[in-house]
């Protein structure tokens, strides 16, 4: 049988296998995050990832190491790490077994992760944004609410004391702020002195407890002060003495300020410091009043006791006589008037009438004993002499301040001074020099303003420096500048401390 011819099928073209296409990466470089979570997507690539106080979720590629402190590390299905993966106080979640070419280190997984990670997240946010409360972290709000509840209970129990501390800042802001300023070097110096005495070391725990409760009570008093200020502005002055209400209003205001970046921690520290000064100033004023009352009572008791007087013994006195003759030519002995009894002519001008005596020919005493000591009157504050001058209102003063700031910025930027020295230092030198030279600044000269002292003396270097430094506190709190709106003397906080005021001169007076 013939073999069937072989039928050759036409050759099929070779199948071309497509080469894998490399994904297009979005470069993010090095990633550093403090207090926030980090997400690296599928199409993103980073050279290194460092997260502190937050979680890291890697879905893309990391060419270097991944460090997570106080959070968890999660890897996606397409994730890859070409270095080490280190997680401290957290856990590493890799359900898809994504490749990690380095070592995997997890330390502290036994720590309660949500609480510890949240703590580190808050610490990172507080350090990065300089604020006390964060909208993303819940537990600080719980702590703030608990502290507010504690202070609210204090206000219910010691409402009168908190109102007294608040009135101390309202009525005597100069003395209160001066006390707070004195506490800055005074408290550490007192602590060092206690340590130097060796035995005083035993008193340090009591001092710490006293300072702690002083700051807590002062913080509550500051909340009351803020609440009273809000009620005063709104016109509800009849509710100002209710400490339980004003402390809640102050807590709301402080909660808002604590959330502001780069201001929250400053407000927290400033309110605690001024609050401690309020408490100290109130205690000192109370002690001074008690000593004044005790001294007045002792003086009144001494004046009520009769002073024993020496008995007066009448002695015979030889009075010289003169001889005269009557109409019959007989001599008559007459007594001249006493030298202490001046003879005054009568109405008719002929006869002489001696003045009335106190009895037995003795004239009335010319010296009257001093009245018994009384309680010293309250010190009346010295007011600015009115005359042709008026107190400047807030808006004129702010206008002059704005002119000075613009001039310092232009002059300092042109000459290069602001490149060498910070603006606050240049401002302090400028205003102090102008106050000592002209009693005003260039902006004040334009608006006819002048700085005057309440005691009438010229502004000296100490007054200028103190007024300038306290002005920064007034600007930081804003309330210090607004204080002149309701103050009877029209003074701000730095005016109260320095004993000065700002007046508007008449047009006829030139400051140039």
Minimum mean pLDDT range among 151-165, 372-386, 445-459, 486-500: 372-386
Q: How many CA atoms does the CB half-sphere of 401 hold within 13 Å? A: 14
End-to-end C-alpha distance for the chain, whole angstroms: 137
Indicate if the pLDDT at residue 304 is higher than 60: yes
Per-position DSSP letters for 12-74, written without gaps between them: PPPPPPPPPPPP--EEEEEEEEESS-EEE-TTEEEEEEEEESS-EEE-SEESS-EEEESS-EE
Indicate if the pLDDT at residue 93 is higher than 80: yes
Q: Cβ distance 249 to 152 under 8 Å?
A: no
Residues shown for the chain: 512
pLDDT tens for 425-463 read: 888 888 888 888 888 898 888 888 889 888 888 888 888
| Alpha-helical runs (H) found in 197-263 | 204-234, 243-258
DSSP 484: G
pLDDT tens for 342-369 read: 444 444 444 444 444 444 444 555 545 5
User: What pLDDT score was predicted for residue 4?
Assistant: 53
Q: Given pLDDT bands bounded at 50, 70 and 90, which one contains residue 171?
A: confident
Higher pLDDT pick, 240 / 19: 240
- Coil, helix or strand for 322? strand
Mean pLDDT of the chain: 77
Q: Given pLDDT bands bounded at 50, 70 and 90, which one contains residue 246?
A: very high
Q: How far apart are CA 466 and CA 473, in angstroms?
A: 11
Instruction: Encode 471-494: b = buried (16+ Cβ within 10 Å), e = exposed.
Output: bebbeebebbbbbbeebeebbbbb
- Coil, helix or strand for 131? coil
What mean pLDDT comes out for the span 68-90?
87
- Coil, helix or strand for 8? coil
Q: How far apart are CA 489 and CA 494, in angstroms?
A: 13
Q: Could you give the angle at which helices 204-234 and 243-258 cross, rounded to 10 degrees?
A: 100
Indicate if the pLDDT at residue 62 is higher than 90: yes
Q: Cβ distance 201 to 194 under 8 Å?
A: yes
Q: Which of 104-118, 354-368, 370-384 has the largest mean confidence?
A: 104-118
Q: Given pLDDT bands bounded at 50, 70 and 90, which one contains residue 474?
A: confident
């Amino acid at each position: 049988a013939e073999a069937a011819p072989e039928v050759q099928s036409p050759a099929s073209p070779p199948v071309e296998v497509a080469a894998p296409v490399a994904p297009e990466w979005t470069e993010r470089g090095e990633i550093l995050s403090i207090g926030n979570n980090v997400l690296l997507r599928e199409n993103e690539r980073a050279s290194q990832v460092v997260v502190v106080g937050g979680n890291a979720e890697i879905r893309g590629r990391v060419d270097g190491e991944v460090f997570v402190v106080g959070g968890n590390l999660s890897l996606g299905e397409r994730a890859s790490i070409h270095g080490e993966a280190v997680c401290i106080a957290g856990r590493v979640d890799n359900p898809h077994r994504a490749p990690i070419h380095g070592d995997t280190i997890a330390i502290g997984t036994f720590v309660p992760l949500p609480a510890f990670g949240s703590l580190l997240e808050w610490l990172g946010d507080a350090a990065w944004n300089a604020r006390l409360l964060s909208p993303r972290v819940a537990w600080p709000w719980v702590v703030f609410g608990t502290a507010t509840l504690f202070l609210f209970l204090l206000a219910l129990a010691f409402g009168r004391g908190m109102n007294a501390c608040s009135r101390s800042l309202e009525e005597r802001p100069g003395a209160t702020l001066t006390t707070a300023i004195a506490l800055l070097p005074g408290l550490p110096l007192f602590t060092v002195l206690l340590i130097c005495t060796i035995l005083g070391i035993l008193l340090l725990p009591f001092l710490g407890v006293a300072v702690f409760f002083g700051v807590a009570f002062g913080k509550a008093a500051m909340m009351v002060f803020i609440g009273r200020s809000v009620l005063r502005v709104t016109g509800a002055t009849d509710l100002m003495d209710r400490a339980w209400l004003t402390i809640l209003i102050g807590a709301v205001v402080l909660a808002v300020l604590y959330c502001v970046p780069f201001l929250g921690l400053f407000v927290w520290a400033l309110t605690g410091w001024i609050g401690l000064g309020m408490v100290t100033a109130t205690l000192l004023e109370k002690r001074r009043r008690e000593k004044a009352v005790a001294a007045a009572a002792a003086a009144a008791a001494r004046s009520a006791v009769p002073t024993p007087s020496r008995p007066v013994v009448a002695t015979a006195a030889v009075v010289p006589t003169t001889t005269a003759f009557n109409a019959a030519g007989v001599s008559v002995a007459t007594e001249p008037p006493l030298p202490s009894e001046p003879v005054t002519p009568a109405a008719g001008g002929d006869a002489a009438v001696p003045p009335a005596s106190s009895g037995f020919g003795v004239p009335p005493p010319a010296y009257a004993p001093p009245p018994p000591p009384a309680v010293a009157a309250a010190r009346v504050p010295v007011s600015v002499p009115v005359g042709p001058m008026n107190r400047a209102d807030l808006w004129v003063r702010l206008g002059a301040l704005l002119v000075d700031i613009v001039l310092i910025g232009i002059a300092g930027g042109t000459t290069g001074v602001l490149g060498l020295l910070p603006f606050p230092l240049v401002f302090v030198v400028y205003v102090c020099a102008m106050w000592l030279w002209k009693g005003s600044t260039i902006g004040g000269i334009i608006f006819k303003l002048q700085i005057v002292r309440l005691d009438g003396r010229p502004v000296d270097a100490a007054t200028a420096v103190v007024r300038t430094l306290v002005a920064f506190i007034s600007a930081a709190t804003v309330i210090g500048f607004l204080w002149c709106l309701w103050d009877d003397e029209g003074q701000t906080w730095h005016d109260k401390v320095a004993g000065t005021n700002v007046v508007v001169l008449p047009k006829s007076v030139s400051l140039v």
